[in-house]
Amino acid sequence: MTQKLVARIGSPAGITISPDLWGIFLEDLNDALDGGLNAEQVRNGDFEFSRLDQHGWGPLTGWQVVLPDGRTRLWARTQDPVHPNNATYVRLLGPVTLRNEGWDGVRVRAGASHRVGFAARVVHGAGSVRVVIRDRSGVLAEATVAVAGAAWAWYSADLPGRADGRGILHVELPEDLAMDLDAVSLRPVGTDGEALTFRPDLLAALADLRPSFVRFPGGCLAHGTGLENVYHWKDTVGPRHTRRHTFNPWGYHQSMSIGYVEYFALCEQLGATPLPVVAAGVCCQNTPGGPRPIPDEEMPAYIQDVLDLVEFANGPVDSAWGAIRAQLGHPEPYRLRYLGLGNEDQITDDFRDRYARIEEAVRAAHPDLTVIGTVGPSPSGSDFDAGWRFARERDIALVDEHFYCSPRWFHQNTDRYAGYPRSGPGVYVGEYAAHGRQVRSALAEAALMIGMECDSDVVRLASYAPLLARNGHSQWVPDLIYFDADRVLPSASYDVQRLFGTERGVEVHDIDVEGADPVPVPALDAGTVRVSAPTATVSFRGIEVDGVPLPELTTTGEDPVELAAVGATRATVTFTAERVSGTDGFVVELGAREPGAYLALHVGAWQNKSTLLVHHGDGQHDNAGSPEPWAGVMTGVPVEVTLEVDWPRTRVWVDGRLRHDVTHDERPERRVVAGAASRVAADGVVEYVVRLVNATATARETRVELPAEAAEAADAADAAASVTADVTASATVLAGTGPDDGGPFEASPMTSAACDLTGNGGVELTLPPWSFAVLVVRREAPRG
């Protein structure tokens, strides 16, 4: 079965697409940097891991000690370190072997060189350190390094790869040699003879996206877990052994081996402009104790740090920080044009004060720099509204919107930015992704990206998040690019992003689409009221459903317990819940069970820090409004809840306070979406970049027609020349799978097919079910 689809390209819409529109966001979560983009293959080579990173971690995490005689021959020490910022090292008494398997093994390639480096000082004796990479089959690479001297010194050697394999690094000390060891590093050697900074296959995957900008370092990483964990850029420049390590808010360690110097180098290698983000004078609101501000007396120094970052990026070589940049090997400025200030912050009085002071200083010193504000973590809600009011009051150039929502939400919001004011702050969509990691998720993202592009007078920048995730080491799903020690596994969303980045138009055109009927969304289905407590034991008493009292009950686990039947559009549920044991809170469901439509109220959502209302249906789920911050469910403390549904409105009271008052979004989904933009090719011919999404189970016999005025002009020329002008197009189509194919930690299930098309006045092609196509269409000059 197929349906007809006609996309008629119209007149210019008066909107020029931002040349910086499509970029990437690099944050160190999911082992994206150490263990990922960072080419370093030694885990904890500085012996700086600690219990602050993760319970049970310490200086020898990632290392194994082989003691031939069972005697203690290794001690972690801090006296007289190689550098105060790299305070821990190990003292070794031979014979002893240290082993390190890196991240799931140390990769060796036959014929390639691998450079080992370390700092050492001899305590007594003399001799050489043997460095070997072994797998079960034997030695993959090795070198011997002679050490001498009672002062810290630096040593390096190249290990030629004998065979392909993934092994374990061995550092072997002979008998009678005692020495201190720190800053152990192993990196592949590039074709220029230098140790690589970035893992080549991941770097290539980023380059193929052709990003216009790179946002860094966060995200949550920028404003940290507590003031002591705020990201300080000055701690990340200079020799790696001098950089101040810290714990990562995502539950592991930051070596800062990929810091601001490497970040700016990455931008240059990708041909992208930098977009660094600094904290807006407050730490993350999800920190215990909330969003604490930098003390007032410390604000002048912090503001100066922000100004110094700009000077480090753009200052002349005779400026203080421009001179340091030149000393680090880069006298030319990095041409910084954007600066993000804050990330998903709660819009408190402290935030407003700190933000304003920083922004005013930056504007005064660097009026040409575009400062980007923040409007909270969600596409709606109290912080979103307050953030936008603040942005308009201050006339902020751009604000950073984030949304992680269902595919349905994306299809409902393809025209989200059409209704935004054309004056005042513009938008940077700094983080977005559709729930899941299936084909339907990627196509939903493509549909909304078309909307962003068509409204690029509002949306100036956009970057998917998160970017990278190491399989087996992730803290967030979905992600754009998965990888392990051997493979890079781009997702279906990556395929979509690549097509947007590689084929770009300049001037948006109106487009009329015939045959793209919207899809209605499910409301609620009649069913039951159910309660569950996935990680706790919870008692429920005083239960009433539509005024009917019900007996008390106690439940534990994910399987919901049914309370009573309810209708499809109206219901009122009240009860008192009390956690008996366990962690977090409980869930109330109202409506049909899967795959039907129902509501789920999460009391104690996301680390027991909020309440959240979710609408489920058609195999998808949407947050109904934004999560509301809350103190959480506590053992032995009763919680009174009332859930009232009068569809499409839902209200929730917790302990007598109205926490949610939501009118559910009943707008239909736009599953078939088209967009068009023109550009002038190198030969002077106008080309049209046309994007088509078909997120339905029906193939579409599609015709793309050029603008009528262009066709009429060409027809007149053809008549004069007695020839027929041809329309040609190159098309790339992503398709070949069903909507639920693909998933986290897997490569994209979609296939990419390219073809050439010709026609008169337009071109025709078949859009397969669940597909995305990009066409570059042009009218060739008449022949004859």
Calpha distance 351→373 (Å, rounded) = 11
> In the annotation, is 344 catalytic?
yes
How far is the C-alpha of 134 from the C-alpha of 159, rounded, in Å?
Answer: 12
Residue 360 and residue 94: Cα distance in Å, rounded?
A: 59
Nearest 10 degrees: Cα torsion 755, 760, 762, 766: -50
Q: How would you classify the pairing of strands 213-216 and 127-135?
A: unpaired
Catalytic one of 48, 311, 344, 669: 344
- The answer to whether the CB of 534 falls within 8 A of the CB of 587 is yes
What would you measure as the largest C-alpha separation in the chain, in angstroms? Answer: 97
Estimate to the nearest angstrom the gap between the alpha carbon of 225 and the chain centroid: 18
CA distance 241 to 184: 10
CA distance 211 to 501: 6
* C-alpha span between 473 and 484 (Å, rounded): 9
Contact 41, 480 (CB under 8 A): no
- Residue with structure tokens 């030969």? 683
Name the token pair of 571.
């219901």
CA distance 456 to 429: 11
Q: Give the residue among 264, 225, 265 at the shortest CA–CA distance from 54.
A: 225
What is the chain's length?
784
Taking phi over 0 as left and psi of -120 to 50 as alpha, with beta for the rest, 608 belongs to left
Q: Are strands 106-108 and 527-545 parallel, antiparallel or unpaired?
A: unpaired
Considering only CA atoms, which of 436, 490, 489, 430 is closest in space to residue 459?
Answer: 430
Please state, in angstroms and as integers, the Cα–Cα distance from residue 242 to each residue in 43, 117, 330, 608, following that order: 17, 15, 19, 39
203/38 Cα distance (integer angstroms): 10
Structure tokens at 563: 């309370």
Residues classed as catalytic? 344
